[in-house]
Protein backbone atom coordinates (compact mmCIF):
# COMPACT_ATOMS: atom_id res chain seq x y z
CA UNK A 1 0.00 0.00 0.00
CA UNK A 2 2.82 2.42 0.91
CA UNK A 3 4.48 1.70 -2.42
CA UNK A 4 1.26 2.48 -4.29
CA UNK A 5 0.83 5.76 -2.39
CA UNK A 6 4.44 6.73 -3.10
CA UNK A 7 3.97 5.97 -6.81
CA UNK A 8 0.75 8.00 -6.85
CA UNK A 9 2.52 10.99 -5.27
CA UNK A 10 5.34 10.71 -7.82
CA UNK A 11 2.81 10.45 -10.66
CA UNK A 12 0.90 13.55 -9.49
CA UNK A 13 4.12 15.52 -8.88
CA UNK A 14 5.42 14.53 -12.31
CA UNK A 15 2.20 15.62 -13.99
CA UNK A 16 2.19 18.96 -12.17
CA UNK A 17 5.79 19.56 -13.19
CA UNK A 18 5.02 18.54 -16.76
CA UNK A 19 2.14 20.97 -16.96
CA UNK A 20 4.34 24.03 -16.47
CA UNK A 21 8.03 24.16 -17.36
CA UNK A 22 10.24 27.21 -17.60
CA UNK A 23 11.31 28.15 -21.12
CA UNK A 24 14.94 28.28 -22.18
CA UNK A 25 16.38 31.53 -23.60
CA UNK A 26 16.06 30.10 -27.12
CA UNK A 27 12.43 29.13 -26.51
CA UNK A 28 11.65 32.61 -25.14
CA UNK A 29 13.13 34.24 -28.25
CA UNK A 30 11.15 31.89 -30.53
CA UNK A 31 7.94 32.53 -28.57
CA UNK A 32 8.32 36.32 -28.79
CA UNK A 33 9.03 36.03 -32.49
CA UNK A 34 5.91 33.91 -33.05
CA UNK A 35 3.75 36.43 -31.17
CA UNK A 36 5.17 39.33 -33.19
CA UNK A 37 4.66 37.53 -36.52
CA UNK A 38 1.08 36.64 -35.58
CA UNK A 39 0.37 40.18 -34.31
CA UNK A 40 1.48 41.81 -37.56
CA UNK A 41 -1.29 39.91 -39.37
CA UNK A 42 -4.03 41.06 -36.98
CA UNK A 43 -5.85 44.25 -37.92
CA UNK A 44 -9.03 43.46 -35.98
CA UNK A 45 -10.04 40.77 -33.52
CA UNK A 46 -13.41 39.81 -32.05
CA UNK A 47 -13.82 37.10 -29.44
CA UNK A 48 -16.34 35.82 -26.93
CA UNK A 49 -15.17 35.59 -23.34
CA UNK A 50 -16.18 34.06 -20.04
CA UNK A 51 -14.91 35.76 -16.89
CA UNK A 52 -14.52 33.96 -13.57
CA UNK A 53 -14.10 36.13 -10.48
CA UNK A 54 -12.66 34.11 -7.61
CA UNK A 55 -13.24 35.52 -4.13
CA UNK A 56 -11.67 33.63 -1.27
CA UNK A 57 -14.78 33.81 0.93
CA UNK A 58 -17.11 32.40 -1.74
CA UNK A 59 -17.39 28.69 -2.51
CA UNK A 60 -18.20 29.33 -6.18
CA UNK A 61 -16.63 31.74 -8.67
CA UNK A 62 -18.78 34.61 -10.00
CA UNK A 63 -19.28 34.01 -13.73
CA UNK A 64 -19.95 36.69 -16.34
CA UNK A 65 -19.67 36.59 -20.13
CA UNK A 66 -19.61 38.83 -23.15
CA UNK A 67 -17.55 39.91 -26.15
CA UNK A 68 -14.19 41.64 -26.61
CA UNK A 69 -13.32 43.52 -29.80
CA UNK A 70 -10.04 45.10 -30.87
CA UNK A 71 -9.11 47.33 -33.79
CA UNK A 72 -5.60 48.52 -34.46
CA UNK A 73 -3.79 50.48 -33.36
CA UNK A 74 -5.31 50.66 -29.86
CA UNK A 75 -9.12 50.58 -29.76
CA UNK A 76 -10.45 47.97 -27.35
CA UNK A 77 -13.88 47.15 -25.96
CA UNK A 78 -14.99 44.72 -23.26
CA UNK A 79 -18.76 44.23 -23.46
CA UNK A 80 -20.38 42.21 -20.67
CA UNK A 81 -23.74 40.75 -21.67
CA UNK A 82 -24.59 38.22 -18.95
CA UNK A 83 -25.83 38.52 -16.25
CA UNK A 84 -25.80 42.32 -16.81
CA UNK A 85 -25.02 44.86 -19.55
CA UNK A 86 -21.78 46.71 -18.94
CA UNK A 87 -19.11 47.85 -21.36
CA UNK A 88 -15.66 49.43 -21.15
CA UNK A 89 -14.00 51.07 -24.17
CA UNK A 90 -10.33 52.07 -24.29
CA UNK A 91 -9.91 54.70 -27.00
CA UNK A 92 -7.67 57.75 -27.58
CA UNK A 93 -6.34 57.75 -24.02
CA UNK A 94 -9.83 57.56 -22.52
CA UNK A 95 -11.80 54.87 -20.70
CA UNK A 96 -15.49 55.06 -21.69
CA UNK A 97 -17.85 53.20 -19.36
CA UNK A 98 -21.48 52.34 -20.03
CA UNK A 99 -23.15 50.75 -17.00
CA UNK A 100 -26.63 49.77 -18.25
CA UNK A 101 -27.13 53.20 -19.80
CA UNK A 102 -25.21 55.22 -17.19
CA UNK A 103 -22.22 56.64 -19.07
CA UNK A 104 -18.96 58.04 -17.76
CA UNK A 105 -15.44 58.73 -18.99
CA UNK A 106 -12.07 58.46 -17.25
CA UNK A 107 -8.68 59.62 -18.47
CA UNK A 108 -6.35 56.61 -18.73
CA UNK A 109 -3.57 58.80 -17.34
CA UNK A 110 -5.50 59.02 -14.06
CA UNK A 111 -5.88 55.25 -13.72
CA UNK A 112 -2.60 53.35 -13.62
CA UNK A 113 -4.33 50.00 -13.19
CA UNK A 114 -6.68 50.33 -16.17
CA UNK A 115 -3.91 51.87 -18.22
CA UNK A 116 -1.40 49.09 -17.62
CA UNK A 117 -3.95 46.30 -18.11
CA UNK A 118 -5.16 47.91 -21.33
CA UNK A 119 -1.56 48.24 -22.53
CA UNK A 120 -0.95 44.55 -21.86
CA UNK A 121 -4.13 43.36 -23.56
CA UNK A 122 -3.62 45.59 -26.60
CA UNK A 123 0.05 44.61 -26.57
CA UNK A 124 -0.83 40.92 -26.59
CA UNK A 125 -2.63 41.51 -29.88
CA UNK A 126 -0.17 44.01 -31.35
CA UNK A 127 2.90 42.06 -30.21
CA UNK A 128 4.27 44.96 -28.17
CA UNK A 129 3.85 43.76 -24.59
CA UNK A 130 7.18 42.34 -23.44
CA UNK A 131 8.26 45.54 -21.67
CA UNK A 132 10.69 44.54 -18.94
CA UNK A 133 10.91 48.17 -17.76
CA UNK A 134 7.43 47.94 -16.28
CA UNK A 135 7.25 44.23 -15.47
CA UNK A 136 9.41 41.35 -14.34
CA UNK A 137 8.46 38.71 -16.93
CA UNK A 138 8.88 34.95 -16.75
CA UNK A 139 8.00 32.43 -19.46
CA UNK A 140 6.66 28.89 -19.21
CA UNK A 141 5.38 26.15 -21.50
CA UNK A 142 2.89 23.34 -21.07
CA UNK A 143 0.87 21.09 -23.34
CA UNK A 144 -0.28 23.08 -26.37
CA UNK A 145 0.17 26.45 -24.68
CA UNK A 146 2.71 29.07 -23.62
CA UNK A 147 2.45 31.22 -20.52
CA UNK A 148 3.90 34.66 -19.76
CA UNK A 149 3.76 35.92 -16.16
CA UNK A 150 4.07 39.66 -15.53
CA UNK A 151 4.91 41.01 -12.06
CA UNK A 152 4.49 44.82 -11.85
CA UNK A 153 7.54 46.83 -10.81
CA UNK A 154 5.44 49.88 -9.94
CA UNK A 155 4.74 49.92 -6.17
CA UNK A 156 1.30 51.53 -6.52
CA UNK A 157 0.12 49.00 -9.10
CA UNK A 158 1.55 46.16 -7.03
CA UNK A 159 -0.84 47.02 -4.20
CA UNK A 160 -3.75 46.00 -6.43
CA UNK A 161 -2.31 43.45 -8.85
CA UNK A 162 0.24 40.89 -7.71
CA UNK A 163 0.66 39.24 -11.08
CA UNK A 164 -0.82 39.16 -14.59
CA UNK A 165 -0.73 35.91 -16.54
CA UNK A 166 -1.31 35.63 -20.28
CA UNK A 167 -1.78 32.16 -21.76
CA UNK A 168 -1.13 31.73 -25.50
CA UNK A 169 -2.18 29.06 -27.94
CA UNK A 170 1.05 27.56 -29.28
CA UNK A 171 -0.15 27.19 -32.86
CA UNK A 172 -1.76 30.63 -33.33
CA UNK A 173 0.49 32.54 -30.86
CA UNK A 174 -2.56 34.50 -29.67
CA UNK A 175 -3.93 34.96 -26.14
CA UNK A 176 -6.53 32.42 -24.98
CA UNK A 177 -6.65 33.33 -21.28
CA UNK A 178 -5.95 36.36 -19.08
CA UNK A 179 -5.54 35.97 -15.31
CA UNK A 180 -5.22 38.89 -12.88
CA UNK A 181 -4.02 37.90 -9.41
CA UNK A 182 -4.78 40.46 -6.75
CA UNK A 183 -2.68 41.23 -3.70
CA UNK A 184 -5.01 38.98 -1.69
CA UNK A 185 -5.87 35.42 -2.71
CA UNK A 186 -8.57 36.70 -5.07
CA UNK A 187 -8.18 36.64 -8.83
CA UNK A 188 -10.00 37.22 -12.12
CA UNK A 189 -9.67 34.69 -14.94
CA UNK A 190 -10.88 35.54 -18.45
CA UNK A 191 -11.13 32.77 -21.05
CA UNK A 192 -11.27 33.85 -24.71
CA UNK A 193 -12.97 31.66 -27.32
CA UNK A 194 -14.54 31.75 -30.80
CA UNK A 195 -11.96 34.24 -32.08
CA UNK A 196 -12.58 35.95 -35.42
CA UNK A 197 -9.54 37.70 -36.91
CA UNK A 198 -9.59 40.56 -39.46
CA UNK A 199 -13.34 40.80 -39.91
CA UNK A 200 -14.64 44.30 -40.71
CA UNK A 201 -15.20 46.26 -37.48
CA UNK A 202 -16.67 49.77 -37.69
CA UNK A 203 -15.23 52.54 -35.50
CA UNK A 204 -18.76 53.35 -34.28
CA UNK A 205 -18.66 50.22 -32.10
CA UNK A 206 -16.14 51.95 -29.86
CA UNK A 207 -18.30 54.98 -29.04
CA UNK A 208 -19.99 53.39 -25.99
DSSP string, 138-189: EEEEETTEEEEEEEE--HHHHTTEEEEEEEEETTT--EEEEEEEESSS-EEE
* 160 CA to centre of own chain: 16
Task: Please give the DSSP secondary-structure letter assigned to residue 72.
Answer: T
pLDDT digits (tens, 9 = 90+) for 45-89: 999 999 999 998 888 999 999 999 999 888 899 999 999 899 999
This prediction's pTM: 0.82
Determine the pLDDT at residue 185: 82
What is the edge-to-edge ordering of all strands in the sheet holding 44-54? 21-22, 135-142, 145-152, 161-169, 175-182, 187-197, 44-54, 62-71, 75-82, 86-91, 94-99, 102-107
* 208: Cβ contacts below 8 Å, ≥ 6 apart: 77, 87, 88, 89, 96, 97, 98, 103
* C-alpha span between 132 and 139 (Å, rounded): 12
Question: Considering the chain, what is the average pLDDT of its residues?
Answer: 84
Q: Rg for the chain (alpha carbons), in Å? A: 19
Determine the pLDDT at residue 202: 93
Determine the pLDDT at residue 65: 97
Amino acid sequence: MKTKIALLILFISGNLFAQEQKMSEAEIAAFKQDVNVSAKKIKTLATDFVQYKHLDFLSKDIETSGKMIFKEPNMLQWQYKKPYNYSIVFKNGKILINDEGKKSAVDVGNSKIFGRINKLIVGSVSGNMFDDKEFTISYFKFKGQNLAKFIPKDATLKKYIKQIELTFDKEEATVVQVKLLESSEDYTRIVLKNKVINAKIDDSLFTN
